């Protein structure tokens, strides 16, 4: 009987836990992934969003819109980085607010231009790169 109650309690805890935990645990991403994301960020994003991602001056050769601060994305969303929303913005599958023109490159295309990517693996590699960048961004969000 005691074992029965214990397992009932366990089942209850397991069912309650997902509601209180973060939907995606990007709080403690693997350091190697974060490091590769930082490298990708420095190569592809820093020139517009700033080396520390706090927003940049416009790359006037490309456009005149000032790139936004990317360290406040979690704060803007109630404390959790909205991973898949941001993913879609970066990959280009989500068009940004209507009143804005798309000044930002479509990264699913840009990151696929790298040399040495064979066609079959292209999508997987690009997804991995974007996710690594997001893992890095998740570590530099303001509280
Ligand atoms: C050529 C400049 C430029 C580069 C390079 C660039 N961005 Fe942007 N980004 C912008 C601008 C400008 C905006 C504001 C929206 C717009 O006008 O398109 C933006 C918006 C965003 C947003 C939405 C922010 C919000 O507040 O909702 C995210 C996320 C983002 N960029 C991530 C990235 C990442 C990650 C990279 C690198 C892979 C990158 N950007 C590279 C210019 C750039």
Residue 21: exposure state from Cβ atoms within 10 A (0-12, 13-18, ≥19): exposed
**Rg of the chain in Å (alpha carbons):** 19
Q: Is the pLDDT of residue 20 over 90?
A: no
Measured in Å, residue 59 CA sits from the centre of ligand 1 at: 11
Question: Rounded mean pLDDT of 70-88?
Answer: 91
Q: What is the pLDDT of residues 100-127, one digit of tens each?
A: 456 677 777 777 776 667 777 787 888 8
The predicted model scores a pTM of 0.77
Measured in Å, residue 67 CA sits from the centre of ligand 1 at: 6
Provide the pLDDT for residue 59. Answer: 58
Distance CA 75, CA 6 (A): 38
Is 4 inside any structural domain?
Answer: no
Tokens representing 20 are 């209180």
Is 94 inside any structural domain?
Answer: yes
The enclosing domain of 60 has a CATH number of: 1.10.760
Contacts of the segment 8-13: beta carbons below 8 A, 24+ positions apart: none
The residue with tokens 């991403």 is 29
Is 58 inside any structural domain?
Answer: yes
Question: Rounded mean pLDDT of 68-86?
Answer: 92
* Domain encompassing residue 59: 24-139
Is 1 inside any structural domain?
Answer: no
Nearest CA to ligand 1 atom 12: 67
Q: Is the pLDDT of residue 23 over 60?
A: no
Is 3 inside any structural domain?
Answer: no
Domain count, the chain: 1
């Amino acid at each position: 009987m005691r074992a029965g109650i214990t397992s009932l309690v366990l089942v209850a805890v397991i069912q309650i836990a997902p509601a209180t935990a973060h939907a995606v645990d990007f709080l403690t991403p693997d350091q190697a992934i974060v490091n590769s994301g930082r490298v990708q960020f420095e190569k592809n994003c820093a020139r517009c969003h700033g080396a520390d991602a706090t927003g940049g001056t416009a790359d006037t050769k490309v456009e005149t819109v000032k790139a936004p601060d990317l360290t406040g994305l979690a704060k803007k969303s109630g404390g959790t980085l909205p991973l898949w929303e941001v993913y879609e913005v970066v990959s280009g599958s989500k068009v940004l607010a209507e009143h804005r023109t798309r000044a930002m490159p479509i990264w699913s295309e840009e990151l696929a231009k790298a040399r040495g990517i064979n066609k079959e693996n292209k999508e997987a590699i690009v997804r991995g790169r974007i996710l690594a960048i997001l893992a890095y961004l998740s570590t530099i969000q303001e509280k």
